[in-house]
Structure 1
Amino acid sequence: MTQLELFELAHEMWCGPGCTRTTACEFLHYPRVPSKPGLLRVTRPPYNRGNAHLFVVAGGDRYLPGIPQLHEVNLWDHLPGILARDGTDVDYTCWSRKGDTSAADVIRYCARDAVQWAAIWCGERQPSHQAFLEYLLLNASADDLCVPPLDLVHGNYRVYGRTLADIVRAMDKEGWGYDAVLALLSIVRLYLFQYTEKLDHVAGRGLCNGLRTVGGAWDAIMFHMMSGNTFGVGLGVASTMGAGPCRRSWLLDGGFGNATSMNLAKSLISVEGHDLHHPTGDDAAKQTAYRSFYLDIIGELTASGAPEPLVYFARAGFDFVPLGDRYRERRRSERFPLRPAVAVELREVFGDEPCDEWLEGRFRAATA
C-alpha cells in the first residue's frame, strides 16, 4: 500500500463511495451549516461578539458579522498529487525547531505537551483516561516529526512502546464505542495532512501559504484544524469529561474553536511569526475574518446548547498558550528543561522509554 492508497481508503471509510470530491467532502473540508439555538448550558465566553471591540487580537479589534463560511479551494485538487510524491528524503526529519538531538527528546516533550493539554481541558479528570493521553501524544508528535502515515498504521511508529492499534484497543476497553473508530480515522487524516504539509514545504510548493493568499481565511483555518485533529481530540475531551451524546456539529465547532483560539492566543504573545505557516499573515482583511469566524462560531456553539466541556475546549487556546510550555519554547526556539514534577508525571503516565532503537535510528539518519 502507498501513502496515496491509504488516503483513498481512509477517505472512503469516512465519506463512503458516493463522495463528490468537491468542497462538500467532509473528509477534507468543513461545509458548515449554522447551528440552531438550543437550551443554554453555559455562560457566554469572556471574549465574544459583544465585547470584541475592547481587545486587540490578531492585529485588530474589529468584528465583522456575516462573513461567508465557505471554501474557495478544493483540496482534492492538491492533496492526492502531493501524497503521490516520494517522501523518503523527509521521513523522520525533525520539525520542532527547538534544537532536539534525539527522537526520545521529541517524544518526551510531546508527552509533556499532551499532559499539559489534558490538564487544561479536563482538569481533575486528566489522569483517569490513559488511552486519551496516549492518543494526545501521538497527535502532538505528528507536528514535530515527519512520520509516514503508513508507519503509523502498520505499527512501525511507536511512542512509549504503544502503537496506534494498541491505543484504539484501549479506547474500546474504556467504552469509547463507535467514537474509537472516528478517532482512528481522524488521527490517520491528521498524519496525512501533516505529511502533505511537510512534503509540500520541502518541495517549495507552499500549499499552506497558497491557501492563505489564493483562498479565503476559511480555507486556511480548515487546513490548520484538520492538521491538528481537533475533531478527534474533541471526542476524547467529551469522553473524558462525560459530556454525554454530542452532536457532530458540536464536535466540529468545538474543534474549530480550539484551533482558532490557539492561533489567536499565539498572536498575543508574538508566537505566530515563528510558525512555518500562518493562516492569515499580515493580511488585515483575513485577520478580521479569522477573528470574526471564531467569535461567530463560539457564540453559536454556546447558544446551541453544547455541553460545557466542549465550549471550554473551543476557547481553551487562550489558557493553554500562556500556561503551557510548547509555544513559549517556540518563541525562544529552544527547549525548557523538564521540571522534576513533570518528569515524574511522564514516567507515571507513559513509562521510561519514549521510543525504541528503530525510531532513534531513523531519526539519526534523517537528521545527519
Structure 2
Amino acid sequence: MLIESSSNGIGPVCLDSVHYAGSALAAFEELAKSTTIEELLRSAHLMWCGPTCPEDTSCDFLHYSRPTVSSREPRLPQFGYNKDTSHLFAAVGDGGYVPGTATIHEVNAWPILLKVIARADAGHQRNGRLDCDYSDWTTKPHDAPRLQNPDPAVSATRSYRDALQWMAAWCGEHYKASPAALHYVAWAAIPDDLCIPPLDVMRGTFRMFGRSLHSTAADMEAEGWGNDGVLAMLGVVLQYIYQYVEKVDFRPGPDQVGLHTQLNNTAGVWDSIMYHTRGHDAFGCAIAVARNCGVGPHHSDAFVDAAINCGMSMNLAKMALDVYRKDDIQPTAHPTLREERQIAYRSVYLDIIDDQVRRGDHEVLVNFGRSGLAFVQLMERYRERRSGRRIPITPQISAELNQLCGPVPAPHHQSSPSSPACRSASGLSTQTESGHV
C-alpha cells in the first residue's frame, strides 16, 4: 500500500464533480449566507445537483441509485465474513445472506425532510432557540431525558479523540498526514453527540478548540483539495442538517413528522441505509481518508459504497457487542418487520463489500468499508456507549490533541447553559470571545 507522507500536491481522488465549480472555501462562504436551514439545504443542493434536479428519488444529494458493478481484477481477497460464511456468525443475527436484496428507494426523503426543517425554522424564528439545542445525545438508553450539555468542551475533546482513533483505524501510522482530514473527521463526529443548530456551524459561533468549520475549509484549500474539498464540504453540511432534524423530530408529540418511521416503514432497508450514510457523512470521511493516504483516483460510486459499508459494518459490530440496541435511531427498526429488515441489512452489506473487491477498489477504500467490524471493538467511543459513562482521556491522546489543536480544555462543572463556559462552548458566544471549546 503506497501512501504519500502528505496530501499536499496530490491530484483529485474522486473523478466525479458536482455542479458547483468553485473551491470548498468559496462554497462554505456562500452557504454561510443562509438565514434558514431550508435555505442552507437548498443552496447546498443547488451546488451538488444544479437547478434542474426534480427533488425526487433520482436526486443523488439525498438518495443514491447504485450503478451495476463491472468486475475487474480484484486487488484483495474477500474478507472472512462474506456471503458464504455469514450463516456461521449468529452474533449479528440469524438468517445469513439473502441474494438479490433490493437497493432501490421506496420513499422520497425530500418532502419529509422539508417538513421537519420547516418546524425547526419556525421555532427559531419565534424563540431564537429550540429546547433541544445543544442537548446531550450520548445519554443512553434512548428514552432518557435529553439535558442541556453542561460541558460541551467534553464532547469536543472526545470528538477529536474519536477522529484520531478513526483515522488510525483507516490509515494506520499515517493517520495525521493531512491535518485538514483529521479536523474534518472531528467535525463529522460531534453532531451525533450534540444537537447543534446547523446555522451556528456555518456562522462560526460553534467552534471546537477555537476552530470553526470555516477554518477546516481554509485548510482544505491550503492543502489543494480542489473538487474533493467541495464534495466533502457539501457532505458535512448535509450531515449537520440531517443530524439536527432527526433530533428535533425525535420526541413524540403533535408536531412530530416521524422522519425515521417513514423511512423504516417497509421490509426494504435502502431508504434508511442511505439516510444514515448521509447522516454520518461517511462519504466525506472516505474522501478525507483517500486524500490523507494518497489514494486514487476513483469514481464517486467507490466512495459511496465505502461509506455505506463503513456505517453498516459499524452497526453489525454493535449488534454483536450489544451496543446497537441502545442506539436512539436504528436503521433496521420496525414494530413487526425488524427481523426481516436485519436480514436485508446484512445482505446489502455483504453484496456491496463483495462489489468493492470485485470492482478492484483500492485497499484503503475496502478497509474503510469493513473497518467498523474492528473499530467498534477498539475505540473508547463505543465502550462509553455500552457502559453509559465517560472514559478519561489518556495522556497519549491529550498529547496528540495538544499538538494538533492546542491545550485540551479543562472540564467545566457549571450545569447552567447560561454560564460563560457553556455559552462559549455550546456556540452561544460571538466569534470575538476567547473561550471557545
TM-score bucket (shorter structure): over 0.9
What residue in structure 2 maps to residue 228 of structure 1? 280
Q: Distance in 2 between the 1:319 and 1:170 partners? A: 30
Q: Distance in 2 between the 1:213 and 1:343 partners? A: 44
Work out whether residues 57 and 291 of structure 1, in 8 Å CA contact, stay in contact via their aligned partners in 2. Answer: no
1:332 paired with 2:387, answer yes
Cα separation, partners in 2 of 1:267 and 1:123, compared to 1, 3 Å: same
In the superposition, the TM-score normalised over structure 2's length comes to 0.80
Deviation at residue 214 of structure 1 after TM alignment: 4.1
Aligned 1:171-190 pairs, distance under 5 A = 171-190=220-239
What residue in structure 1 maps to residue 137 of structure 2? 95
Work out whether residues 71 and 215 of structure 1, in 8 Å CA contact, stay in contact via their aligned partners in 2. Answer: no
What residue in structure 1 maps to residue 312 of structure 2? 260
Deviations 1:26-53 (A, max 9, x none): 1111111221112211221221112112
Deviation at residue 333 of structure 1 after TM alignment: 1.1
Between Structure 1 and Structure 2, the one with more helix by share is: 1
1:4 paired residue among 38, 51, 76 = 38
Cα separation, partners in 2 of 1:247 and 1:142, compared to 1, 3 Å: same
1:286 paired residue among 332, 336, 341 = 341
Deviation at residue 229 of structure 1 after TM alignment: 0.3
What residue in structure 2 maps to residue 139 of structure 1? 188
What residue in structure 2 maps to residue 360 of structure 1? 425
Q: Distance in 2 between the 1:76 and 1:223 partners? A: 11
Secondary structure at the counterpart of residue 161 of structure 1: coil
Q: Distance in 1 between the 2:216 and 2:264 partners? A: 35
- Structure 1's unaligned 5+ residue stretches are none
Secondary structure at the counterpart of residue 103 of structure 2: coil
Deviation at residue 163 of structure 1 after TM alignment: 1.2
Q: Distance in 2 between the 1:277 and 1:67 partners? A: 22
Deviation at residue 106 of structure 1 after TM alignment: 0.9
Work out whether residues 55 and 61 of structure 1, in 8 Å CA contact, stay in contact via their aligned partners in 2. Answer: no
Deviations 1:166-197 (A, max 9, x none): 11111122121210111111100000110111
Deviations 1:233-252 (A, max 9, x none): 00011111111211101000
- Structure 2's unaligned 5+ residue stretches are 1-34, 141-146, 411-419, 430-437
Work out whether residues 202 and 213 of structure 2, in 8 Å CA contact, stay in contact via their aligned partners in 1. Answer: yes
Deviations 1:252-303 (A, max 9, x none): 0000000100001100000011110111137111111000000000001110
Q: Distance in 1 between the 2:91 and 2:340 partners? A: 13
Deviation at residue 150 of structure 1 after TM alignment: 1.2
1:299 paired with 2:357, answer no
Secondary structure at the counterpart of residue 127 of structure 1: coil
Q: Distance in 1 between the 2:340 and 2:360 partners? A: 31
Q: Distance in 2 between the 1:192 and 1:226 partners? A: 10
Secondary structure at the counterpart of residue 202 of structure 1: coil
Q: Distance in 2 between the 1:21 and 1:77 partners? A: 9
Q: Distance in 2 between the 1:202 and 1:286 partners? A: 23
What residue in structure 2 maps to residue 35 of structure 1? 69
What residue in structure 1 maps to residue 218 of structure 2? 169
What percentage of aligned pairs have identical amino acids? 40
What residue in structure 1 maps to residue 416 of structure 2? none
Aligned 1:72-87 pairs, distance under 5 A = 72-85=106-119, 86=123
Deviation at residue 359 of structure 1 after TM alignment: 3.1
Deviation at residue 101 of structure 1 after TM alignment: 3.4
Q: Radius of gyration: which is bigger?
A: 2
Deviation at residue 94 of structure 1 after TM alignment: 1.6
Work out whether residues 95 and 143 of structure 1, in 8 Å CA contact, stay in contact via their aligned partners in 2. Answer: yes
